[in-house]
Amino acid sequence: MVKMIVQGDLANCDDEQLAVFREHKVEPYFAPIVRYGKTEAVVIVARRGREVIYWEDVEEGFNVSPVAPNDRILEHSCNQDNLGLALNAWIKGRTRPPRLGPATQSNTNSPH
């Protein structure tokens, strides 16, 4: 499913976003994330050093986060970004919409 979402989002990316994705893409794999005290899993789709782009199934969007040495996601965000917006975080001079994360228990009841 995540591979299909990635492919769909890539169809709407510009050349610079595509180049960044090609440079940093990984075969999608599950990584642990702590959501409100409970360890769950998200899918990492790209990696640049100690930072990754991952698919968040709860928010149904992509997020950027630093990762621990064991690939644990360190920042649980509540963004619903498409892949192009997430890739913009790795492109010098590009801006992104305001970040909604990291998530806290208090902002889980806000409308999306």
pLDDT of residue 108: 46
How far, CA to CA in Å, does 76 sit from each of 6, 61, 96? 20, 12, 17
pTM, to two decimals: 0.84
The pair of structure tokens assigned to 20 is 């960044």
Name the stretches of the chain with pLDDT < 50.
106-112
> Nearest-CA neighbor of 14 among 84, 83, 89?
84
Is the preceding omega at residue 102 within 30 degrees of 0, hence cis?
A: yes
pLDDT of residue 107: 45
pLDDT of residue 110: 41
Instruction: Kindly report, residue by residue over 25-43, the tens digit of the pLDDT.
Output: 999 999 999 988 899 999 9
pLDDT of residue 95: 66
pLDDT of residue 98: 55
